[in-house]
Structures are given as C-alpha cells and as structure tokens.
Amino acid sequence: MQVHSMHFKARAGNALGDATLQANLQKFGSAGLAALRARAVEAYGHAAFERLRDAGAQIRDRSLADLDTLIERFEREATRRGATVLFARTREEARDLVLEICRRHGLKKAVKSKSMLSEEAGLNEALAAAGVLPVETDLGEYIIQLAGEAPSHIIAPAVHKSKEEVADLFERAHAKPRKTDIPEMTREAREALRTHFVSADLGISGGNFLVAETGSGGIVTNEGNGRMVTTLPRVHVCITGIEKVIPTLEDFATLMRLLPRSATGQPISNYISFFTGPKGRDDRDGPEHMYFILVDGGRTNLVGTDMQEMLRCIRCGACMNHCPVYKTVGGHAYGWVYPGPMGSVLTPSYIGLENALDLPHAATLCNQCGVVCPVKIPLPDLLRKLREKQVDRGLRPWSERFALRVWAWAALHPRIYALGAWWAARYLRFLGGGLKRITKLPFAGRGWTLTRDFPAPQGKTFRELYRKRSGGA
Amino acid sequence: MRVGLFVTCLVDLMRPSIGFAALELLEAAGCEVYVPPTQTCCGQPGYNSGDRDAARALAEKVLAEFEGCEYLVAPSGSCAGMIKTHYPELFADAPSLRARVERLAGRVHELTDFLANVAKLEKVPGELRGRVTYHDSCAGLREMGVKAQPRALLAKVPGLALVEMGECEQCCGFGGTFSVKFGEISGAIADRKCEALEATGADAVVLGDLGCMLNIEGRLRRRGNEATRVLHVAEVLAGKTGKR
C-alpha cells in the first residue's frame, strides 16, 4: 500500500472539511464501539477486566521474550501437520511468495478474509496485476474494495462510509435496485459473495494468533466469511506478522476473552476459526494445500528495544475508538495501513521515522488509548519515545528546536524567565485589548488562533504579585 | 503541614489569581504554604516534544526547590502528573537521583486531591450561585486519579449545582504543543467539548487545568458563546470568580 503518512496534516485538513465524513465520524463517535466496550467491561466487572488485561499483557510479553523458539516450534508443529511455513523478511517478499504460490498451483481467483498484512503488502494490486482476481469477503472490506479505497479502521474498515454511500456502491456493483435497509443490503452482498466463495481456488486469510503448541492459526470474525475462505478453496494461505505467535491454546483462550470485548464489546465473536494443516485423508472439507506466511516487515527491529511493547498489540482497534484525534479526522488521514494511536507508533516504526514525521505528534497524549488497551501498551509513552528519536536524529524543524532551547534555557534561569514572563504577560494583555482575548497570535501561535481565540493573561505574573504581597522588592 | 505550592508556569503567566486562590485554600486547610520564588516550569513542554535533556534539567530544578516540603501541591493535574508519574522515568539511569525523585513523587498532589484527601478541608470559603459542569482533565483523571475529589469539594460550595456533561472524561483537544502544531484538529476536538458542555445549560464549566481552560474558553468565544464562564476549580472553591 502506498505511503501517504508524510501528508497527515493536509489529509486531516481535508477530512475536517468533508461534511459527509464528519457526519459519519460523529455517528461513529457517539454510538460507536467505545460505548459497546464500556458496557462489556461493566458486565465483566472492572476489577476482573483489569486482571484480564494484566494476564493478556503477560502472555504477549512472554511470547515476545521467547519469540525465536516459539516461531521454531510453530514451524515444526505446523509442518508436522502438513502445512508449509514460509518466512518473508519484507512486505515485498511476502507479496512475491503469494504470487509464487498462485503460479505453482495455477490459481485464478482469491477470496480473502480480513488481513491487515495483506494491506501492508499491497496484495490486492499485486494479485490483480498477476491475473488473479482478489475478492474481499469481509463486508466492510468488500465495501471499500468496491469503492477503491483503503480501510480507515483496522476492524471496521468501512466505518467512514454512510449507509447511503454503501447503497450507491451496491447499486452500481450488483446492478440491482438500490436498497437502504441494512439486512437487505447485507443479504445482497452475501449473495454476490457466495458465487465467489464456490468458484475461488485460493483463500487468503490473516491470522489473529498462531499457536505454537499445535501449529494452528486462529482467526476471529463476525460474518463467517473467514470459515469459507479457509475451507472452501483448494489452497489456503494464512499471512500474518511473525509477532503473532503465542505458546498455547490456553493463552489463545485468555486473549480471546480480551479481544472481542475490547474491539466491539462482544463477550465472544460470532466465529472463532482454527486451521491446522490441509485437509486430512478422511476430511470432507478443507484445502488441499495450506501455507503460513510469517512476515517480518520491520517487526524484529522492535524486538529487544524500548519500542518492543508495541508488538504486544492484538489489533482490537480500541485505541482508535477512544482517540479524540482519530474520531475527528478518521483513519485515512494517517496515510498508511494502521491509523489511530497504534498506527502512529507502528507506521514510523515499520516504514521509517522520517517517512511519518507528523504521526508521533498527532496526539494530545490524553492516554485514553493507554487505559483501554487490552494488553496495556503504554501508547502515549511510545509516541513520546518516537518524538525523542526524532529530536535525536535531527528530524525536527530548526525553528522548533530553537524555540525549545530558548525556553529550556530561560526556565533554568529564574530571573531571566521572570523577565520574559513579565514582558509576555503585559504584551499579550495589550494584544487582548478590551475584550481580553487575542484573535490572531503571532509566530507559532497562529496555529492556535486558526480556530480559537486566545484568552489574554491578567497582565501581571504570579511571581511578581507574590513577591509584592510578601513584602519583597 | 508544610506544603510547597507549585503554581505552574501557565498560572504564573496567564492567571495569577488562580495561584492565589490555591494559596488561600491551602491556608484555609491549615497548611503552612511555601512558594519557592525561583519556580518556573515542570519541564513538560520539553518532555512531550522529545527534548529529554531539557526535561531532566528542569526536573532536577523542581526537585531541589521542593524536596524540603512535606507535600508538593499544584493547581494542575497535568503538571502534578508530570512530576509524579514521569519524573522517575527520566532518571532511570541515575539511581541516587531517581530515589530522591521517587521520594518527592510520592508526596505530589493535585490541588483538589490534596484538599479532599490529605488536608480534609471541611468548609470551603467560596460561594457561587448557579449551575456548573465539570470537565475532567486528562492527566488529572488518568495520571492522578482526580475524579471524585473536585466534585466532593464543589458539593460544599453554597448555591452551586453540578450538572454532568456527556463524555466529561473526553479530552478537550489541548495537548500542549499539539494545540499549535495541529490547530485545526485541536479546535475541532474542542468543538465537541463545547457542544457537550453547552448541552447541559450550565452557567460555567469548571476544571482543574490551565491548558484545557484556555482551550475551551478560546473555542467557546470563537463560536460566539460569550455567556458560559470557564472557571478553575480553585477560583470557585476560594470564591474568587469575580473578575478574570
């Protein structure tokens, strides 16, 4: 997928000016997934859910600490059960491996269940170019594929679209009378997809987790499409990140108590599907060939570093559902596969700090994300670390660095600082005039007064008033 | 009880009256208040902009200024949160400094938390006729656990009725330098806060952090709302809401 993360600010500006998008985001914000999560946590019990989050974080930490041996174990167990395990160092290698599998088996049509890694690798474009028709079968993914767009949310990819926009898309794609009743629209999409399920020769799925002890992949879906994708076509490819390996099925069960609750507020998702190797001799269903592609794509660069906690991520989307910035500008503004707080950490980590300069700063550090993360990733801390790395690598504009230097120097010299504050209090008070507010601030302050007034200061500093009060000079 | 008052750089520059309100409240609670004359800033702007060295230097300064106090109290959840939760991490590689910083961190309180839980202020000096709503500032709420304390204290203010707004725990969009770097997004987030608080019909929104205060007030006025007052909780409790 093309990277547009350098243009966050411009894209966010467009999003703010897009009335339809704003209306859709407003709907998402008020009646959205955050409220459903809150209800689910309430029902589970806050204290118990906290313990569950601790357990989830521990499982992920243990898995990451042991990642090399876990991957080997997974490979051994999966291979023993007849699957082929492949490794890709880069997203491009991952794409090439899928294309190679298509050539080897002469595959022509791929049905896909949701996979963010497929987005990372730009798989759909590559498949189409190689003459393999990719069909997204997750309803949200299906919608945005029809629209020719990228997902704007990791679990609700079409959340930026209204029912009316989807109705228009379906009318064109299905060549049937326009419908706006959601169950009817869903039925129409199911009918369209069914022909693809039975005619596809390749199924591509993601993998929420890979279980080392059994060599299985597991996916979580609500529509059942994942089960079709992984059982009907004669070849199944599961493509996922190497960090998704966990030790045991027991661990999977624990994480499964966290994931749907955090994502959609469901105690359990409608479907949890496991795949362990291809169809056995006595099995009636299942693929003849089963591949796992484990992709690095920048992940090992984080292992053993101060950013490793990010690899705990189980892709629930809770951080973006609770993010004031995401809820205001939507996912496309972030410019690559992963939006919201987790995206603002992952994108610079995967595609390079210098290719996503705005993202670590595009957060108020309100820590709504941190307190809802099911595996306790300290997202604001990680964003701050990325900011530090930008400073260390000289990636911040000179004006910002200069201003910070001057401020820090002054703040360390109380007399000089007092003088500056004395002057600023009076100057800003003067600018505030009779209404005591400034409608246009100079220099960097312009950013503030684009959308807000700046309330003027009272005119004298606390320190000078306090000194007078206590009888000092 | 010897309490060090850290007024914060924004109060110093923008709203000294809040500093004095905090001072009076602490004195009303029977504290001996010490105001280090050299105090400037907690270092948060540097810390959040990735300038760790600057943050560290200022953290050492705050440490030296307040180490001798029994408590450090700030009329800001954000600055108190910086000292309590982030200072220790700044000295991960300097054990002796870290130990000193941790000792200080254990004694840091946001103003209303201190008044309600430590000083156990019984009677508040202030009085305010009208309906107010309370905005939970992010750092106060999520780093310092400030939620019930300001509400309990406001309940003691004669004449005051508290009405909760929808999503009162939602960020107002300030975010320090974020408000300047991403002014349009910040303003749009503030807009939602304004809508929520206007929907309550309250005469004033009360809060505990200068950043949010400037942000919400600035956006309210730009939207043409001249009526809803934006007050710091210290001003309300001390009865100093007369003039800006």
Using a cut of 0.80, tell me whether the model's pTM lies above it: yes
Within 8 A of B48 by CB-CB distance, chain A residues are 365, 384, 387
Q: Sheet harboring B108-110: ordered strands across?
A: B32-34, B2-5, B71-74, B108-110
- The alpha carbon of residue A153 is apart from the nearest alpha carbon of chain B, in Å, by 19
Span B209-221, pLDDT tens digits: 999 999 999 999 9
Give the Cβ contact number of residue A165 at 10 Å: 16
Look over chain A and give the mean of its residue pLDDT values, rounded to a whole number: 96
Of A363, A408, A465, the CB nearest to B51: A408
CA–CA gap between residue B137 and residue B115 (Å, rounded) = 18
Give the Cβ contact number of residue B58 at 10 Å: 25
ipTM reported for the complex, 2 dp: 0.97
**Confidence label for A30 from pLDDT (cuts 50, 70 and 90):** low
Task: Find out whether A327 and A159 touch, Cβ atoms under 8 Å.
Answer: no
At residue B243, does pLDDT exceed 70?
Answer: no
Span B167-204, pLDDT tens digits: 999 999 999 999 999 999 999 999 999 999 999 999 99
Within 8 A of A421 by CB-CB distance, chain B residues are 9, 12-13
Within 8 A of A390 by CB-CB distance, chain B residues are 50
C-alpha distances in Å from residue A396, one per residue of A10, A253, B76: 18, 44, 29
Q: What is the DSSP letter of A323?
A: -
Residues paired with residue A240 on neighbouring β-strands, in sequence order: A294
Tokens at A255, concatenated = 């994480």
At residue B206, does pLDDT exceed 60?
Answer: yes
Mean pLDDT of A148-154: 96
Residues paired with residue B108 on neighbouring β-strands, in sequence order: B72
Query: Angle at the Cα of A266 (from A262 to A270), degrees rounded to 5?
Result: 125
CA–CA gap between residue A271 and residue A223 (Å, rounded) = 7
- Cα dihedral sign for A414, A418, A419, A421? positive
Of A448, A457, A467, the CB nearest to B37: A467
Can you say whether residue A201 is alpha, beta or left, with left for phi > 0 and alpha for psi between -120 and 50 degrees? alpha
Where is A418: in which H helix or E strand? helix A414-432
Within 8 A of A426 by CB-CB distance, chain B residues are none
Percent helix, percent strand, percent coil in chain A, to nearest 5: 55, 10, 35
**pLDDT for the residue numbered A472:** 58
Q: How many CA atoms lie within 13 A of A167 on its CB side?
A: 11
Tokens at A3, concatenated = 């990277």
**Confidence label for A32 from pLDDT (cuts 50, 70 and 90):** confident
**Confidence label for A29 from pLDDT (cuts 50, 70 and 90):** confident
CB contact under 8 A, A455 and B214: yes
Mean pLDDT of B38-65: 97
Span A380-420, pLDDT tens digits: 999 999 999 999 999 999 999 999 999 999 999 999 999 99
Span B137-150, pLDDT tens digits: 999 999 999 999 99
- Cα dihedral sign for B31, B145, B168, B42? positive
**Confidence label for B244 from pLDDT (cuts 50, 70 and 90):** very low
C-alpha distances in Å from residue A186, one per residue of A24, A181, A366, B95: 19, 9, 37, 61
Residues paired with residue A236 on neighbouring β-strands, in sequence order: A203, A290
Would you call B158 exposed, middle or buried from its count of C-beta atoms within 10 A (0-12, 13-18, 19+)? exposed
Task: Find out whether A363 and A327 touch, Cβ atoms under 8 Å.
Answer: no
Mean pLDDT of A247-256: 98
Spatial neighbors of B50 by CB under 8 A, at least 6 apart, are A384, A386, A387, A388, A389, A390, A391, A392, A396
CB contact under 8 A, B218 and A453: yes
C-alpha distances in Å from residue A300, one per residue of A140, A297, A348, A350, A378: 30, 8, 14, 10, 19
Tokens at B75, concatenated = 């009329």
**Confidence label for A31 from pLDDT (cuts 50, 70 and 90):** low
**Confidence label for B42 from pLDDT (cuts 50, 70 and 90):** very high
A-B contacts at Cβ under 8 angstroms? 203
**pLDDT for the residue numbered A182:** 94
Terminal Cα-to-Cα distance of chain A (whole angstroms): 65
The share of chain B scoring above pLDDT 70, in percent, equals 99
Task: Find out whether A421 and B66 touch, Cβ atoms under 8 Å.
Answer: no
At residue B78, does pLDDT exceed 70?
Answer: yes
- Amino acid code (one letter) for B95: P
Within 8 A of B51 by CB-CB distance, chain A residues are 388, 391, 404, 408
- Say whether residue A172 is in contact with chain B using an 8 A CB cutoff: no
At residue B133, does pLDDT exceed 80?
Answer: yes
CB contact under 8 A, A324 and B171: yes
**pLDDT for the residue numbered A473:** 47
Tokens at A116, concatenated = 């963010």
Q: Where are the beta strands (DSSP E) in A169-223?
A: 202-205, 209-211, 216-221
